[in-house]
Amino acid sequence: MGVSRHGVAALRRWVQSSPVAAFLLLTFLISWSIWGAARILLPGAGPGLGYTVHTAGLFGPTMAALLLSEFLYGRRGLIGLLRQITRWRVGAQWYIFALF
C-alpha cells in the first residue's frame, strides 16, 4: 500500500507552513530512532560502540535538514543547501583553530 498523492501534498503543505516544527520533529525522530534501536539491539555494547552510535545520532539535525530540503525543493534545493554548507567564509586557519 503506497502513499497517495493527496497525502504527500498535505504533508508538503504542512511542512511549508510549519518548517521549524517539521525540522524539530524529523530531527527527534531520526536521532531517537538511532539511539533507541541501538539500545534495543545492542544492550550490552561496550563503550566504543556506544560512543559510535551516540555520534551517529548526533547527525539527526543534518539528516533532517537534507531530507526536508530535498522534499520541499527537490534536487536543486538539496544542491543549494550543500553548496552553502561547504562554502568557506573565512580562512582555513580559523577552521583549524575551531577544530583544536
pLDDT digit string (tens) for 32-71? 998 888 777 777 766 667 778 788 888 999 999 999 999 9
Q: Domain of residue 67: give its range.
A: 5-99
* H-assigned helices in the chain: 5-17, 19-41, 47-57, 60-86, 92-99
pLDDT at 25: 95
Instruction: Round to whole Å and give the CA distance between 7 and 15.
Output: 12
Cell of 8: 504527500
Instruction: Round to whole Å and give the CA distance between 83 and 92.
Output: 17
pLDDT at 30: 93
Residue (of 96, 98, 94, 69) closest to 83 by Cα position: 69
Residue 27 pLDDT exceeds 70: yes
pLDDT at 38: 79
Report the number of distinct structural domains present in the chain.
1
pTM given for the model: 0.73
